[in-house]
């Protein structure tokens, strides 16, 4: 009898138990051999494995020779991201393209340089002939990150210089992918909704005069309409998600795979696989789902006691998904504040007023206020807890009527700029292939031939 492709048979379950037993490492060995599991020390701080000039993630300061927690700061090529966003706050200027230029070329562009760069990106925002019909529309996946990764890998076949890892060619490939990610993501979603849910199929071509944020809203919505504040908020979201140091999981993947000398498409597909993980890029979806469950269960969204009891129930695995987590709270680096969440909060508040969702914003604010205190009371923490960027981004995307399926791809549309800068940095360094060591703790055994085994 032929086993179905996706079937879990009793035989496989038995083998799975054996594999699990053989794969489990006693956590005590990590302490015994002083192994930095996950490239982190016991306090969660990342092990230093490389140097970069692209961005700086700051969460500590030195007082009397000792490192202590500090309010978080994020710098792109030496510029505080808060200053970058402040320069855009009350203008009609969009900043994602300008910030992409900064990450890639190490300087802020003047007007002529920015105009030439945005024109170059616009020129690259065209998929190969019949790519939408032959690739995106065929067997569309319900997971847009898989769809995006498949499209990226397929673009390899359309590139006559796919394996050319010369600096100029890799830069060309990166710029093309930065330009194409919005199309690959949104078209993939529209194809899936059409073939699986029967939704009307419409494919809007991008407009050369539009920014990346404007084009996302233009090609996603059937009527192509959006307000200036909606486009501004999405542009800010792209900027604060585009880069976060070389050590985050997907960007480290970019460095790691690039160090092997492989092609750009393989590198970016690997980074997408990392970002897809719910511990990395998918957290904002969980925040929205958690808040929706909270709204359904609570009688009074403004009652501190009732909201606090729900948050405690989350930690005790008695509410929502029973995972014991308050999603959107806590970060591997930041303990007092995540600058990206601080920046985003004011823009999200403005959009909530435009959308008439002040009550929802007040609930988010109350959770933001109560959760760190409740977590500190309920859990043994080695550092403080603060809202991270995912806490408000999901709410923002819901107000923009972005489908849940596109939340993580939006993250990828932004982060491809940072991945590209780090890929160029890795190639420019011409370093050795990365090869961290693992310590074997399995004793050596004498091999026994089959007939002699019990």
Q: How far is CA 2 from CA 8, 15, 128, in A?
A: 13, 18, 39
Min mean pLDDT across 187-196, 373-382, 400-409 is at 373-382
* pLDDT tens readout for residues 113-132: 999 999 999 999 999 999 99
Cα separation of the two ends of the chain: 30
pTM: 0.93
For residue 382, is pLDDT > 70? Answer: no
Mean pLDDT of the chain: 93
When pLDDT is cut at 50, 70 and 90, the band that residue 5 belongs to is confident
Instruction: Give me the helices (H) in 198-276, please.
Output: 212-220, 228-241, 249-258, 264-276
Quick check: 173 and 264 in contact, CB under 8 A?
Answer: yes
Judged by DSSP in three states, 291 sits in helix
Min mean pLDDT across 88-97, 128-137, 296-305 is at 88-97
* pLDDT tens readout for residues 35-77: 888 887 776 778 899 999 999 999 999 899 888 899 999 999 9
Q: Domains of the chain: which residue ranges?
A: 74-279+404-428, 283-399
The residues pairing with 17 across neighbouring beta strands, listed in sequence order, are: none
Q: What's the pLDDT at 411?
A: 97
Judged by DSSP in three states, 426 sits in helix
Alpha carbon distance 288, 404 (integer Å): 9
Does residue 181 or residue 277 have the better pLDDT? 181
Judged by DSSP in three states, 71 sits in strand
Quick check: 431 and 275 in contact, CB under 8 A?
Answer: no
Judged by DSSP in three states, 387 sits in strand
Closest CA to 229 of 92, 405, 380: 92
Alpha carbon distance 406, 281 (integer Å): 11
Tell me the CATH number for domain 283-399.
1.10.230.10
Does residue 41 or residue 84 have the better pLDDT? 84
Alpha carbon distance 421, 243 (integer Å): 9
Alpha carbon distance 246, 260 (integer Å): 17
Alpha carbon distance 291, 361 (integer Å): 11
* pLDDT tens readout for residues 332-346: 899 999 999 999 999
* pLDDT tens readout for residues 121-169: 999 999 999 999 999 998 888 899 999 999 999 999 999 999 999 999 9
Instruction: Give me the helices (H) in 303-406, please.
Output: 304-315, 339-355, 358-378, 389-399
When pLDDT is cut at 50, 70 and 90, the band that residue 431 belongs to is confident
* CATH number of this structure's domain 74-279+404-428, picked from the four choices 1.10.580.10, 3.40.50.300, 1.10.10.60, 3.90.400.10: 1.10.580.10
Q: What's the pLDDT at 44?
A: 72
Other C-beta atoms closer than 10 Å to the C-beta of 445 total 6
């Amino acid at each position: 009898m032929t086993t179905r492709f996706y079937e879990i048979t009793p035989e496989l379950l038995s083998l799975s138990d054996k594999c699990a037993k053989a794969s489990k490492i006693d956590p005590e060995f990590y302490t015994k051999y002083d192994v930095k599991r996950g490239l982190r020390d016991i306090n969660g701080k990342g092990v230093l494995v490389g140097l970069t000039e692209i961005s700086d993630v700051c969460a500590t300061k030195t007082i009397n020779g000792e490192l202590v927690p500090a309010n978080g700061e994020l710098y792109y090529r030496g510029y505080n991201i808060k200053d970058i966003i402040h320069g855009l706050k009350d203008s009609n200027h969009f900043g994602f393209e300008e910030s992409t230029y900064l990450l890639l070329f190490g300087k802020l562009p003047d007007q002529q340089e920015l105009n030439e760069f945005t024109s170059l990106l616009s020129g690259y925002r065209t998929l190969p002939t019949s790519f939408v019909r032959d690739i995106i529309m065929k067997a569309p996946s319900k997971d847009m990150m898989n769809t995006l990764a498949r499209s990226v890998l397929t673009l390899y076949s359309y590139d006559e210089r796919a394996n050319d890892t010369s600096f100029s060619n890799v830069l060309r490939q990166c710029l093309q992918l930065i330009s194409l990610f919005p199309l690959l993501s949104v078209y993939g979603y529209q194809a899936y909704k059409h073939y699986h849910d029967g939704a009307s199929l419409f494919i809007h071509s991008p407009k050369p005069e539009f920014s990346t944020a404007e084009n996302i809203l233009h090609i996603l919505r059937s009527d192509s309409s959006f307000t200036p504040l909606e486009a501004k908020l999405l542009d800010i979201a792209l900027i604060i998600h585009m880069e976060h140091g070389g050590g985050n999981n997907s960007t480290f993947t970019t460095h790691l795979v690039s160090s092997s000398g492989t092609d750009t498409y393989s590198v970016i597909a690997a980074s997408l696989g990392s970002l897809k993980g719910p511990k990395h890029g998918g957290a904002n979806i969980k925040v929205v789902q958690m808040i929706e469950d909270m709204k359904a269960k609570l009688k009074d969204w403004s009652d501190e006691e009732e909201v606090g009891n729900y948050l405690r129930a989350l930690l005790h695995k008695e509410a929502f998904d029973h995972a014991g987590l308050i999603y959107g709270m806590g970060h591997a680096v930041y303990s007092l504040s995540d600058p990206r969440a601080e920046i985003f909060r004011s823009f999200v508040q403005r959009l909530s007023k435009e959308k008439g969702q002040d009550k929802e914003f007040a609930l988010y604010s109350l959770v933001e206020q109560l959760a760190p205190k409740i977590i500190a009371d309920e859990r043994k923490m080695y550092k403080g807890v603060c809202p991270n960027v995912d806490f408000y981004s999901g709410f923002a995307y819901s107000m923009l009527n972005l489908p849940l399926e596109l939340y993580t791809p939006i993250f990828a549309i932004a982060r491809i700029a940072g991945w590209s800068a780090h890929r160029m940095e890795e190639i420019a360094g011409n370093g050795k292939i990365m090869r961290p060591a693992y310590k074997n703790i399995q004793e050596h055994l004498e091999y026994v031939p089959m007939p002699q085994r019990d």
